[in-house]
Structures are given as C-alpha cells and as structure tokens.
Amino acid sequence: MKQFLSFARPVPRWVILVIDLLITGFSFTLSYFVVKQFEFSEIMRGHFFVYTLLYCAISLPVFYFMRIHTGMLRFSNVYDVMRISLAVLITGVLYPLAVIFIVNREYHINSLNISGVLLINFFISCTLHMMLRSMVRGFYYLVKQNAIVLKENVLIYGSNTDAMLVKQAIESSITNKFVIAGFLETDVNRANVTIQQKRVYHLRELSLLKAKKKIDKLILMNEQLDNNDKKVVIDRCLQFGIKVLTVPPSDQWIYGKLSLKQIQELRIEDLLQREPIIINNEKISSELTGKRILITGAAGSIGSEIVRQVLSFNPEMVIMCDQAESPLHEIQLEVEEKFPKADIKIFIGNIRDRNRMQIPFREFRPHFVFHAAAYKHVPMMEKHPSEAILTNVMGTKIIADLSVLYNVHKFVMISTDKAVNPTNVMGTSKRIAEMYVQSLSSVADNLVDQTIMGLINSDNKNGANGNTRTKFITTRFGNVLGSNGSVIPRFRQQIQNGGPVTVTHPEITRYFMTIPEAVQLVMEAAIMGKGAEIFVFDMGKPVKIVDLALKMIRLAGLTPDEDIKIVYSGLRPGEKLYEELLNAEEKTLPTHHEKIKIAKIIPCSHKVVRDIEDLISMGRLEDNYGIVKKMKELVPEFKSKNSQYEKLDLQLNKAFTATAAD
C-alpha cells in the first residue's frame, strides 16, 4: 500500500486503458441521457445499450492504437490533452458510420440524435479524461511532498520558459527534496502574477520570503552568470544567507530530463567568469591541423587544458611530456576516451635532462612546442632557489635550444605576471627564462649552446641543424581558477573543515582567469605571434582575496566571523600585495584581439646568455645567496619582499651608491 501511494511503481498500462474505457462509457451514457432529457422509458425503448456498447467498441481500438494508455498519468501535459481530444474526435467521426451500417441496417433502429450526443460527449469525455490525469498528478505531488521529512523551500530565478522547465523537472523527480515556493524576478512588470499555481515575487520581497516562507535556496540556470540582473540576485541571496544552486541549460540535460545530480551549488569560479572569449578558430585550425605538437608540463593545470584544446583542432600528433607519472596517466586516459582517433604519444621525462628531452624532438620532429612545465609556488621556490633556476631557467633553455636545433616552427612559453617587477625567486626565474627566449629571438642560432650543437650535428642522419629560424612567443597572465595549489581549493577545504580561512593580508589582490579562457588566449597568441613578442592578456579587474574568502563562505550558506572566521597570517616569503602585468618601462601595443596586447619588451644584451649560463652553473652548486645575488644582477628590478634575501638588496644598493660616488 505504501508503495502504491508513493507511486514507486507505475500503474499497469491495461488498468489505465480500462479506466479510460469506463470514463468513455460513462460520458457517452451521460450525453445520451441529456439528449433524451433523462426520460428512462424512452431511453430503454431506444436501445440505449446497443448504442453505448457500439461507441465503447469503437473507442477501445482508437484509444489503444493512439497509445493514450501508455503515458504515466502523473506526468501528463498539454500534449497528452491534445492526444485525448484527438482520440475522442476520431471516435466521434467513426461512430455515425458504424451506426448507419450496423445499428440502422441490422436492428432497424433510428431513434437517436447522434450529432447532439456526440457534441455533448466530446466535451464531457475530454473533461473527464483530463480531470483524471490532473487529479492523479495533484495527488502524486501531495503524497510526495508529505512524504518528505527534510523539505527545503526554494525559489526559481526567472519566470520564462527555462524557469518553467526547471520547475517541472524538479517536481517530476521521484527523489526530489525541494518544495517550489515560487519564482523570483527583478522586473516589476513580471512580478505579482501566478504561473503554474506558483506566485512570481519581486527581488525586494526576498528578505520577507526568507523569514516567512523559510526560503533556503535559489535555483537558476548557470548560463550567462555575468548578466547584471543575476549578479544582483546572487549578491542579495548571499546577503540573506540563501544558498544559490545552478542547473545546466536544458539542452545539456541527460536524455532531455534534469537529473538532481546536475543541480550544483554555485561556485566562486562561476562568479568570477567573464563574458565568453571569442577566438579565431578557423585561423587556429588552419595552423594546428595536421601538425605535430609537443606540450611540456602536459599533466599540469595549464598543460592538460592545452592538450584538450589542441586535440580539438585535429593535429597529426600530440606529444604529452611530463615527469609526473600518475597525473600524466590520468590525462592520457581522459583524452584517449574523448579523442579515440587522435595520435597521442606519452613521454615521461624531466625538462632538466638534456639527453632525455632530445628524444621526442629527434623521433617526432614537432612543429609547435607549448612550454608549460615550470615550478610556480612562490614560498617553495623562495626556499629552493637552485631548483627554480634548474627547472624554470635551465629547463626552458634546454627546450628552447632543442626547438631551434630541430627546426620547430613556433615555441610558445607560458609565463606569469609574477615575472613583472618580481619580488620573489619564482617570478624572477620566469623573467630570466623570458629573457633567454627573447635573446634567441633576436640572434637565433648564434647563441645556441655549442655543446648541444656539436652533439646533434654529430648525428647527421637526424638532419638537425638549427638553420630554420624558430619563432619564440611568450604569453604572460595571472592566476588561473582551479589550478593545482591555488587559493580557491585551499579556501574551499578550510570552509569544509569548519575554518578558519587564512588570508595573508587584508589588502592583497590578484588577477584571476579560468583555465579554459587562459588557454584560449594562449592559442590565439600562438597563431598571431611573429616571433619575439611577449603577449599580455586582459585579466579584467583585480580581486581582493579577502572578498573572495567572504563570498566563498556565504556561498557555503555560512556567516563570516560567526560560522567561519577569517584569520590574517601575514605575507609569505616573496609575496607582494599587488601583481602587475607590465614592467614600468614596458608599454603595450594593441592586437586584433581586444583581450591580447603586446608588451614593448626591454631589449636584452648579448651578455645575458653568458650570465644565464653562469647562473645555471651556480644553481648546480646549491649556493642560494650566490644564486639570488646573481639573479638580482640579471634582473635589476627584482626587489625581495618579506624574504631572507632582502639583505642582498641593501648590499647591492650600498655597492651601487659607492660606485656612483666614485
């Protein structure tokens, strides 16, 4: 009985067919009685049973072949109503013919006003069939809502077709635990009306709804979250402690139906998204289709997204290079499933190992190299300068040199905004790597490491000679959302653990960009690059990290400083309050893409290559202070912040002052 009331199992189709047949018989009987004005003596003389049984006999096959009985009653909609009306109409058309050829000829009966009965029957029959389905539907929702112990009152944003679809999808789900309290609108003209028995409320009523109807959550479609009205609604919900849930657009629903698993809590990444980036896919496709492409750091956040996007342009081959075995295996499984026809080569190796890294160049001869491999964590590199030099500088040098020697068409380096006016070892190591790449662009083959040149040229059968000029392109952008070790996953984990959320400084700000849009711009820059450029991406407005933390706490349905405290831990070694995308001496030139600009780079002297060689030699000796001092000489704008190496700045300043005095 409990299962029946909860509609856990659908009613057998034959039962619905029998019920429909009973309704058909009853409606015809009632219509017959109305036409005969309930004069029972005349009704019985007029062979009532013959007429009624004949009508039922005709309606049975019509209803069966039109499959009226196959629809689940609790999910009936306008389409079902139209089908029922059509079935009654077809029966009404066939019935007079049957009366003429069967009743009149066989029984010689002609005492019925057929047209009057059928007209009345059409309206009565359609009404009763619709009432049955409406009653079952209403009873189903009543039982289901009363069966829910932990009910959550929710609002749906909007009052358009999308909002209606979301409401219907939620209410039709067996496992649904939401009670739709109404719709929420920002447009006054659309408020204070009723749609599908639910009222449309205006945004200004939200605080009252929270108190009176105990609204827990708001549901909205996650497309166009940059819409200003939606931003206002989301901010107001966070202000009143109402959680925001998102559902994908209806064309992304599984088998055309919304799964409750697709209803997700709004994430901070969703709020930080900007307008979609428009890139020249045709131009990128023409450049990358049919090419062999090597990606270093292919298992990392940026590298793996480069792999995904590159594969969408049908390259001849993609060589995925990384030293991290497990992450590389995971991305391999992912892309092989998504791109089963792609030629994917997996290469495990450290970019610091010159001999090892020569293998993919020699065997696969890539046309493009996307160099994303690097150490990126500021505090870690502040403690290990030698590792920053050997990986970020020497590793980049090795890949760049091999790109020249093996005639790579374009080398694209992934840099960072921390390379601008650096205050830490990591950012400075990336700036030095930029400088080396710039130097190769300006003097090409003459500055390539002679040891490698001799080694490669000794193997003439490989044909590596470095005669073709490789185009070196650098892309520079800020933090990416969701990258490994970034602040957002850390905040999320701290909130889940009950806090506190640790922010280094109340004024610290950062630029943020999603991984896909950063890689989209990398692709566009790679194609438009002529060589020697540093492309700077429009990162939008900088975001205060403390504001980020506050929004994440509110998104979790918690109250800052009450449920979750924010603690200021102080700036970490090498960390600065504000990131920059340009050096004070650098200016930008526009490109055809509004979100990409070219930095007018500071020229590098020929001496920089010898200095970088000396720095790499020092990196092997583990002399941290000597390494950092040399880095400061190479990059004069490098001023340490909150670091043990600040004393070196004082020493260099004194030395410079003494030299100037002399």
pLDDT tens per residue across span 467-504? 458 999 999 887 777 666 678 888 888 888 888 999 88
- Strand 215-221 and strand 410-416: the pairing is unpaired
Say which range, 126-130, 181-185, 459-463, has the weakest mean pLDDT. Answer: 459-463
Q: Does 552 score more than 90 pLDDT? A: no
Round to whole Å and give the CA distance between 590 and 592: 7
Q: Residue 41 has what pLDDT?
A: 62
Picking from 597, 629, 587, 612, the residue whose alpha carbon sits closest to that of residue 435 is 612
Q: Residue 433 has what pLDDT?
A: 94
Round to whole Å and give the CA distance between 354 and 616: 13
Q: Does 658 score more than 70 pLDDT? A: no
From residue 548, alpha-carbon distances to 92, 202, 406, 566 in Å are 67, 28, 46, 11
**Crossing angle (nearest 10°) for helices 545-555 and 487-496:** 40
Picking from 599, 594, 598, 592, the residue whose alpha carbon sits closest to that of residue 283 is 592
Residue 126 structure tokens: 């359609």
Picking from 580, 461, 611, 450, the residue whose alpha carbon sits closest to that of residue 510 is 580
pLDDT band at residue 455 using 50, 70 and 90 as cut-offs? very low
Round to whole Å and give the CA distance between 76 and 74: 6
Say which range, 15-29, 284-298, 327-341, 620-634, has the weakest mean pLDDT. Answer: 15-29
320 touches 331 (CB < 8 A): yes
Burial class (CB in 10 A: 0-12, 13-18, 19+), 309: middle
Round to whole Å and give the CA distance between 272 and 277: 14
Q: Residue 231 has what pLDDT?
A: 76
From residue 86, alpha-carbon distances to 63, 80, 89, 126 in Å are 10, 10, 5, 9
pLDDT band at residue 459 using 50, 70 and 90 as cut-offs? very low
Average pLDDT, the chain: 79
Cross-strand pairs, 183: 156, 200
Task: Pinpoint the residues of the chain covered by CATH 3.40.50.720.
Answer: 149-266, 281-479+512-539+580-599
CB atoms within 10 A of CB 354: 19
Percentage of residues in the chain having pLDDT higher than 90 = 24
Cα dihedral sign for 223, 225, 226, 231? Answer: positive
pLDDT band at residue 239 using 50, 70 and 90 as cut-offs? confident
Instruction: Specify the higher pLDDT residue, 650 or 398.
Output: 398
From residue 435, alpha-carbon distances to 314, 397, 590 in Å are 33, 10, 22
pLDDT band at residue 277 using 50, 70 and 90 as cut-offs? low
Q: Residue 325 has what pLDDT?
A: 93
Q: For 108-121, what is each residue's pLDDT tens digit?
A: 566 567 777 778 87
Q: For 52-96, what is each residue's pLDDT tens digit?
A: 777 888 788 877 777 766 655 555 556 667 777 777 778 777 877
Q: CATH for 149-266?
A: 3.40.50.720
Q: Does 352 score more than 70 pLDDT? A: yes
**Omega within 30 of 0 (cis) for the link into 12:** no
Q: For 138-182, what is each residue's pLDDT tens digit?
A: 666 666 555 544 567 888 888 777 777 777 777 766 556 778 888
Say which range, 249-253, 418-422, 576-580, 610-614, has the weakest mean pLDDT. Answer: 249-253
pLDDT band at residue 445 using 50, 70 and 90 as cut-offs? very low
Please tell me the number of Cα atoms within 13 Å of 235 on its side-chain side: 11
Residue 613 structure tokens: 């060689």
Q: Does 306 score more than 60 pLDDT? A: yes
pLDDT band at residue 6 using 50, 70 and 90 as cut-offs? very low
Q: Does 213 score more than 90 pLDDT? A: no
Residue 161 structure tokens: 């077709």
Q: Does 435 score more than 70 pLDDT? A: yes
- Strand 243-247 and strand 264-265: the pairing is antiparallel
Q: What is the pTM of this model?
A: 0.69
Instruction: Specify the higher pLDDT residue, 457 or 262.
Output: 262
Percentage of residues in the chain having pLDDT higher than 70 = 76
Region for residue 513 given its phi and psi (left: phi exceeds 0; alpha: psi -120 to 50; beta: otherwise): beta
Assigned superfamily of 281-479+512-539+580-599 = NAD(P)-binding Rossmann-like Domain (3.40.50.720)
Residue 143 structure tokens: 């039982």
473 touches 465 (CB < 8 A): no
The predicted model gives 33-53 an average pLDDT of 69
543 touches 510 (CB < 8 A): yes
pLDDT band at residue 256 using 50, 70 and 90 as cut-offs? low
Round to whole Å and give the CA distance between 173 and 563: 33
